[in-house]
Homo-oligomer: A and B are copies of this chain.
Amino acid sequence: MREITYLEAVREAMSQEMRKNDDVFILGEDIGVYGGAFGVTRGMIEEFGPERIRNTPISEAAIAGGAVGAALTGMRPILELQFSDFITIAMDQIVNQAAKLRYMYGGKGSVPMVLRTPAGSGTGAAAQHSQSLEAWVAHIPGLKVVQPSTAYDAKGLLKAAIDDENPVIFYEHKLLYKTKGDVPEEQYSIPIGKADIKREGKDVTVVATSIMVHKALEAAEELEKEGIDVEVIDPRTLVPLDEETIVNSVKKTGRLIVVHEAVKRGGFGGEIASVIAESEAFDYLDSPIKRLGGLPIPIPYNPNLEKAAVPQVPDIIDAVKETVRFK
């Protein structure tokens, strides 16, 4: 299989679908000749033209609401929100409109749209451009929430998201854009709601999301040298969450660590930890569940500080050792 980057995988998923389905189009800031802030749509306006690759004014509320209105009336818009931090401006349209219209209308209408947006720190863009706010949308009934960690997953999940009849918030991680992986050329779909065991192991389950999947895998390799066998599970989608895969893993390993980049306090890790603690897996737990997440601070600018603000490989290694050592 061919290797392409995560960024190319996202672009390919969109391009292939747009070739087949005239209802799909993209709107967003600077997605035309500029190619978007991270270059994801580069080249697309040349192929699809400005009607389907719609450069918008800097008006996050209107473009989000515009996508909702277009979706409600028969289009399948993909909204590129330039940085996921800017969802703060589009929040009403996403949460009070997109997520709720169908329910409020008593089951009429649907809002088949995808909001794609880059999240996370590590680029030196500081506090207003580096957040991981997926916990907000995961809290809102009516939305689905996807966080691919690999090029392969990105392509397959984006296809599924575009095909979904509901609003899907699709988080891309800035630092993953340039990572490469094997990706089939043809279209394929990864079901939304299916976790992936990225590494099998028997001593401890690490549930990691987005970029933390890679850090967990790195940690696992280190730990293997010390004879600790880590299972790494990537939920891939937070809503719906594949509880079954995680429960089964914990029943096997008896230990659970949850890692995300988002601030730990109030992050989705609390949800995952609690769901497992409330499940049949509770009886199998040999040590307390551990959560790793960002510090309770805005993301700082200085690169050393920035790195120290979110979990890194050594933090995961330490957490695993502590968990495995318990009792």
A interface residues (Cβ-Cβ under 8 A, vs B): 61, 85-86, 88-89, 91-92, 95-96, 99-100, 103-104, 126-128, 133, 135-136, 138-142, 239, 262-263, 265-271, 273-274, 277-278, 282, 288-291, 295-298, 300
Contact = CB atoms under 8 A, between A and B. Distances in A.
Nearest to A262: B139
A43 to B, nearest CB: 31
A274 B277 CA distance: 9
A300 B92 CA distance: 18
B298 A288 contact: no
Given A103-B300, A270-B273, A288-B278, A138 B265 contact: yes
Nearest to A95: B88
Nearest to A97: B128
A313 B135 CA distance: 28
A50 to B, nearest CB: 28
A134 to B, nearest CB: 9
A278 B271 contact: no
A31 to B, nearest CB: 21
Q: Give the number of times this chain occurs in the complex, counting copies.
A: 2
Contacts of A127: 96, 100, 103-104
B88 A96 contact: yes
A278 B291 contact: yes
A141 B297 contact: yes
B104 A298 contact: yes
A87 to B, nearest CB: 8
A291 B266 contact: no
A239 B263 CA distance: 13
Nearest to A270: B270
Contacts of A99: 298
B277 A271 contact: no
A157 B95 CA distance: 29
Contact of A273 (B100, B262, B274, B295): B274
Contacts of A278: 288-291
Contact of A270 (B88, B95, B271): B271
A147 to B, nearest CB: 14
B277 A273 contact: yes
B138 A136 contact: no
B277 A289 contact: yes
Nearest to A133: B139
10 contacts: A85-B96, A104-B127, A133-B139, A138-B266, A140-B266, A141-B298, A267-B271, A270-B271, A270-B274, A277-B277
A239 B142 CA distance: 27
Contacts of A88: 91-92, 95-96
Contact of A263 (B139, B263, B291): B139
B274 A289 contact: yes
Nearest to A134: B266
Contacts of A269: 274
B135 A139 contact: yes
A277 to B, nearest CB: 6
Max chain B CB contacts within 10 Å: which of A92, A104, A138, A296?
A92
Given A139-B135, A297-B103, A300-B103, A282 B274 contact: no
